[in-house]
Amino acid sequence: MKTGYQLRRLFNIILTQCSPLNPCALWNQFSTDICDDLAHKIRTLFVISNPINAQIEDYCLHLLNRMLHESGKCLINFPPMPQSTANWSTVVGNRLIFKHQQLQNEAQQADPQITIDCLNNVQRNAYNTITSSIFQNKGTIFFLNGGAGTGKTFLYNTIALKCRSLGHIVVTVVSSGIASFLLVGGRTAHSTFFIPLDVLENSLCGFTKQSLQAELFRETKLIIWDEVPMQHRHCVEAVDRTLRDIRDSEKPFGGITVILGGDFRQILPVIPKGVREQIVNASLRHSVIWKHIHILTLDLNMRLNHRDYENAIFAYFLIEVTIL
């Protein structure tokens, strides 16, 4: 029981070291197992959402041929082995950018105006303000303040869909793994930015100016970061410091328009055995970045029935708990 990659390596060894009399018979018998991981790989590396068996086998032959080149051989030296026919060498060099190009292709198949028309007045004002910064390259930093049910996630996805439909790269991250499923293309902030686990006041993210990540962020038009209030301010500052460096810019986050979102009424940064002063000091509100942030507030709870007087009173109470 081996993975497809291991079986391809084994098949390569058999071809080069064992001189099989009929390698094509081996291929026909075990090709399904040898190719078992390639459907996912094709979907990831190429714009092929549902690869057929012929494409999978052809890509496998391409990979086998590439392995044989390491030994100075190729499939043509082992007749009657079939040959790869497609040009699988045209994979985009930066796989991170390629994934975002796939999101752009999907967005271009949709109509962003349908979701834009579903925004309420407060969301529409926030949408117009944010997209103005994006399309005019202002590089504004926003904090989208709103409690649960005010439509922050819907607004994030609407803005991301519009930008991607125009061919822009939008990086969407959140502070927790489960919430990342709510954002289209969402991932955790730590996995995207390579934030150190033990982040300090002068920390940098764990990628260099020559890395794939740096190339991606130099092309990025917008960053959406949800649930920021639960992150230690040093995490946000490390990302800001790193983006300034790789983009050679003194502007906050290297001049990228950034939407930081969340609700300070919910979970604040967790400081082990920390007292109240330490927790408050770790909050984004006490970061040097906060003075650059433009605050937008969503105050209409879309989950409540506002015709019910008690619901309306409760929604108003939640808004009044904390005033930014």
Residues 209 and 71 in one domain: no
Average pLDDT of every residue of the chain: 88
**Residue ending a domain, choose from 57, 74, 91:** 91
Contact 162, 201 (CB under 8 A): no
Three state DSSP letters for 221-258 = EEEEEECHHHCCHHHHHHHHHHHHHHCCCCCHHHHCEE
pLDDT at 250: 92
So what's the pLDDT on residue 87? 79
The answer on 265 and 124 residing in a single domain is yes
Whole-angstrom CA distances from 307 to 1, 304, 311 are 62, 9, 8
CA separation for the pair 48, 42 (Å, rounded): 7
CA–CA gap between residue 57 and residue 32 (Å, rounded): 8
What b/e string do you get for 199-212 counting C-beta neighbours within 10 Å, with b at 16 or more? beeebbbebeeebe
CB 145 within 8 A of CB 263: yes
**Each residue of 127-140: pLDDT tens digit?**
999 999 999 999 99
Instruction: Give the separation between CA 235 and CA 270, rounded to whole angstroms.
Output: 13
The one-character DSSP state at 283 is S
Among 88, 100, 77, smallest CA distance to 38 is for 88
301 and 180 within one domain: yes
Domain final residue, candidates 36, 56, 91: 91
Beta-bridge mates of residue 146: 298
User: Are 196 and 211 contained in the same domain?
Assistant: yes
Locate 21 and state its tokens.
């009399």
Instruction: Using CB atoms within 10 Å of the CB of residue 301, give its burial: 0 to 12 exposed, 13 to 18 middle, 19+ buried.
Output: buried
CATH of the domain at 312: 3.40.50.300
Sign of the four-CA dihedral 246, 250, 255, 261 = positive
Residue ending a domain, among 36, 61, 91, is 91
Q: Is the pLDDT of residue 47 over 80?
A: no
Same domain (yes/no): 168, 308? yes
pLDDT at 150 over 60: yes
For residue 103, pLDDT beyond 80: yes
In a shared domain, residues 159 and 198: yes
Residues 114 and 211 in one domain: yes
pLDDT at 99: 82
Is the same domain home to 222 and 287?
yes
| DSSP-assigned letter for residue 198 | S
List pLDDT tens digits, range 251-300.
Answer: 999 999 999 998 887 888 888 888 999 998 999 999 999 999 999 998 88
Residue span of the structural domain in which 245 resides: 96-321
Q: What percent of the chain has pLDDT above 90?
A: 53
Do 248 and 316 lie in one domain? The reply is yes
Model pLDDT, residue 306: 62
> Are the C-beta atoms of 161 and 112 separated by less than 8 Å?
yes
Residue 303's pLDDT is: 72
Q: Nearest 5°: phi and psi at 43?
A: -65, -30
Q: What is the pLDDT of residue 324?
A: 47
Same domain, 85 and 119: no
d(CA 42, CA 98): 12
Q: Would strands 220-226 and 141-146 be described as parallel, antiparallel, or unpaired?
A: unpaired
Helix (H, G, I), strand (E, B) or coil at 187: strand
pTM: 0.73
- Split into its structural domains, the chain has a count of 2
| Residue type present at position 113 | Q
Q: Are residues 49 and 108 in the same domain?
A: no
Task: Give just the sign of the alpha carbon dihedral 112, 114, 117, 120.
Answer: negative
Same domain assignment for residues 45 and 159: no
